[in-house]
Amino acid sequence: MQQRSCAAAGLIALIVIVAMSLDSSAAAQTTPVQTAPTQTAPTQKGTAVSAHASGPFDVKITPQPADDKVGDPSVGRMSIDKQFHGDLEATSKGQMLAAMTEVKGSAGYVAIERVTGTLRTPGGVRTGSFALQHSGTLNRGAAQLSVTVIPDSGTGQLAGLAGKMTIVVSDGKHSYDFDYTLPDAP
């Protein structure tokens, strides 16, 4: 049973990743995943500065063994390890829960990851960490994804960080676009 749940978790992760990388048309080269609008948290000090960061990232998703004592074993559980490059030079670790349905092209996942590293901002490079919350659904092939900075999760020079991230998958490679606000005084 444990091997079947582990295999199902890997299959779910693969389906979610593949589904989110589906092109909306045969001619499309990149597929930005739609994100839900977010509200920015109040800043802690100084004036909030809006900015944009982007770059590639590498991701490793590893199925975790099912735990019959916690939840439904048909829900896949995975660990997430990422390496961000570009304006965000960081690593992240997190966990994902995912489920498929009997309807082809329908699935969902939630995830939390802690990102630690540096962010190149208009005022210079800032060091710290923050948490991202993912909520993704696939409705008969139509993907919707929201990746949001958890309010007040920023530490160090990233305290007060708020924003949302868009994940782009093109030719099997991952990249991010990150719209954020950050107080101008760390």
Residues 65/52, Cβ–Cβ less than 8 Å: no
Task: Tell me the pLDDT band of 66, cut-offs 50, 70 and 90.
Answer: confident
Whole-number pLDDT of residue 45: 58
Task: Tell me the pLDDT band of 73, cut-offs 50, 70 and 90.
Answer: confident
Residue 133, judged by CB atoms within 10 A of its CB (0-12, 13-18, 19+), counts as middle
What's the total number of domains in the chain?
1
Element (H, E) at 59: strand 48-63
Domain containing residue 28: 2-183
Task: Tell me the pLDDT band of 8, cut-offs 50, 70 and 90.
Answer: very low
Average pLDDT of the chain to the nearest whole number = 82
Question: Residue 118 maps to which CATH number?
Answer: 2.40.350.10
User: Which range among 6-20, 83-97, 127-141, 155-169 shows the weakest confidence by mean pLDDT?
Assistant: 6-20
Beta bridge pairs of residue 110: 97, 135
Whole-number pLDDT of residue 47: 86
Q: Indicate whether 50 pLDDT > 50.
A: yes
